[in-house]
Chains A and B, each alone.
Chain A
Amino acid sequence: MCLGIPGKVIEIEKNVATVDVGGVLRDISLDLCQDVSVGEYVLIHTGFAIQKVDEEEAKETLDLLRQLAEAI
């Protein structure tokens, strides 16, 4: 039920964003996550963007994970 999937914002018109999820385009509501730009990723839950995906944080997490894995 709490499933969320990341999708890339392709187009924004008023309160609706068209997002690309694995090659499939769908329209989602931006009522809950308004500060979004084309090209950014958002987390989608039941037809709504519920948060932006922070690319910098994702990279930092992956770097940390690599360090943790390599330093064994």
Chain B
Amino acid sequence: MKFVDEFRNKEIAEGLIQRIQKTSTRPIQLMEVCGTHTVSIFRYGIKSLLPEQIGLLSGPGCPVCVTPNNDIDLAIALSRQKDVMIVTFGDMMRVPGSTSSLLKEKAGGGDIRIIYSSLEALKIAKENFGKKVVFLAIGFETTSPTIAVAILRAKEEKLHNLFFLNSQKRVPPALIALLQSKQVKIDGFILPGHVSTILGTKPYQFISKEFGRPAVITGFEPLDILQGIWMLIKQIEENRAAIEIQYRRIVHEEGNPTALSKIYEVFEEDEGNWRGLGLIANSGYRFKESYRQMDVRNFDVEVERSREHPECLCGEVLQGIKSPLECRLFKKVCHPENPIGPCMVSIEGTCHTYFKYQ
């Protein structure tokens, strides 16, 4: 078993679609929180296979997309310092800040490098003692433990030239904000499989207990998604609301306690600033006292006043309020070659996915 092809079986998919059609009796709107789910849903044409009364909304689950402009502007300002090198995951290079992007800064001579893993940031810092190496640390709970490991190792190895621009986010508080929103109606959540690999089910209990909505932790192959949708419809039709796991081959009730302990060794929860959703209590992290020397926000650097393109709907798209198709810029001015907002940059961004598959 390779755990991929088996979950792409056409005959089983057809049977599941029939079962969904048979089970569904009323119009509902489900939100897939994760951008990787959005990509799979479009890639496999899942939307078009579902009964019309089942709506799928794309959520804010793209770390690149929810990184606010002022953090991108800070990274850009830092990259202009002679003694600073920026290391970042590739997707962040093209995200437009207020007036520039890291890609433009690199073309202009800025020392900016793409890394695949947080551990590469350690290696680069060791090889460049003359530079302050700043890791643009973005991501959800899937990525945060890997960043925490890099921070722990940097401290252990007394690496004094590695710093972090921490813009990480916690998913569950964002779901509270969405459930409290009056602008979007969500009957159930397709919860992110890999964030939940770390979190388990406990941090999501409020969805069913306080808001009476069902949620299913779901994998990313087409059969996973179809089964997740069917499990949600079944709960709704039976007037139940529970947090269930479809992605059982990976996700356990308790999550990954080792990974969680790494996060909380280094960080404590703090307010997080999300593009589109704004400030959300406990949706971000701040460094614990003993790691604060690695926080780049201690640097004295002048950052331009942040502003966004007035017509970009990325903020509304991230909340499921608007579809990219409602944006005047979509496909006309804004496309992957010339992204106006981050939702068109990231391969998980809703606008990018609509552009590619719609």
Contact = CB atoms under 8 A, between A and B. Distances in A.
A2 B142 contact: yes
Contact of A29 (B16, B34, B149, B195): B149
Contact of B19 (A33, A46, A48, A69): A69
Nearest to A51: B197
Contacts, number: 138
Interface residues of B, number: 58
Interface in B327-358: 346, 348
Contact of A6 (B4, B61, B64): B4
Contact of B15 (A50, A61, A72): A72
B107 interface: no
Given A1-B35, A3-B36, A69-B15, A48 B248 contact: no
B12 A66 contact: yes
B194 A50 contact: yes
B31 interface: no
Interface residues of A, number: 33
Given A2-B34, A48-B117, A69-B14, A58 B227 contact: no
A58 B149 contact: no
B116 A58 contact: no
B248 A61 contact: yes
Contact of B249 (A2, A50, A53): A53
Interface of B: 1-4, 6-7, 11-16, 18-19, 22, 34-36, 61-64, 89, 91, 116-120, 138-140, 142-143, 145-146, 149, 192-195, 197-198, 223, 227, 230, 246, 248-252, 256, 258-259, 262, 346, 348
Given A29-B146, A46-B89, 4 more contacts: A53-B249, A58-B249, A65-B227, A69-B18
